Amino acid sequence: MNKNKLSESHQKDELPEEAISKSALKREMTALQKIGEELVDLPSAKLAKIPMPEILEDAIMLARRLKNREGKRRQLQYIGKIMRTIDHEAIKERLNSFDQQSKSFRQQFHRLEQWRDQLIADGDQALDELLNESPKLDRQHLRQLIRQAHKETSQNKSPAASRKIFKYLQENIE
């Protein structure tokens, strides 16, 4: 018996360093399946921008059409299996870039909304701060839009000038 234990421990030492545990393999497979799920849920326009083999694309299109919960689950497992055989890093990078784009878009949108609200509330003081940050903006045009926005709010009209300020900022601020 001692000899068997020695040979077992000796065999463990001979395993390559890259030997991955079953749990690690399962975590990796689950992660790939999650990426496949993201691909299935992605809008068609964004999905078209992701480079992938035809077999994966066909599997994703089939998963989109499936209504049966169990069938969809099995199809997602199949997509995960396909993902193991292809270069999934490029797909992951592209998905992350979509996420970053939408995050930066939201941040820029909120920043512009804050500038618009600050311009309407603080007037010239906020305008000076904005022009220090973005000197290429037209001071006169912005002041006119701010006056219109004040006039519209005092007359309880729809905020057309406020939308114009936002649009002007969106077009002229990077």
Tell me the pLDDT of the chain averaged across its residues. Answer: 84
Answer yes or no: are the C-beta atoms of 60 and 50 closer than 8 Å. no
Q: Quick one: pLDDT at residue 174?
A: 66
Amino acid at 116: R
**Cβ-count burial 33-54 (b if 16+ within 10 Å, e if not):** bebbbebbebeeeebeebebee
pTM for this one? 0.53
Token reading at 127: 């305008």
Region at 86 (left for phi over 0; alpha for psi -120 to 50; beta for the rest)? beta
**CATH code of 153's domain:** 1.10.60.30
> Are 82 and 110 in a shared domain?
no
Radius of gyration over every alpha carbon of the chain, rounded to an integer in angstroms: 28
Q: Find all residues with CB under 8 Å of 38, minimum gap 6, and list them.
A: 95
Rounded (10°) angle between helices 22-41 and 69-85: 110
> Are 167 and 108 in a shared domain?
yes
**CATH code of 41's domain:** 1.10.60
Question: Residue 46 — very low, low, confident or very high, per pLDDT cuts 50/70/90?
Answer: confident
What is the residue range of 116's domain?
Answer: 104-172
> Are 81 and 125 in a shared domain?
no
Q: Given a cut of 90, is residue 71 above it in pLDDT?
A: yes
Identify the residue with better confidence: 147 or 101: 147
Could you say which of 30, 52, 86 is where a domain stops?
86
> Are 167 and 120 in a shared domain?
yes
Considering the domain boundaries, does residue 4 fall inside one? no
Give the pLDDT confidence of 98-122 residue by residue, as tens digits: 777 778 888 888 999 999 999 889 9
Answer yes or no: are the C-beta atoms of 160 and 152 closer than 8 Å. yes
> Are 108 and 168 in a shared domain?
yes
Q: Please compute the mean of the pLDDT values over residues 119-129 and round it to a whole number.
A: 89
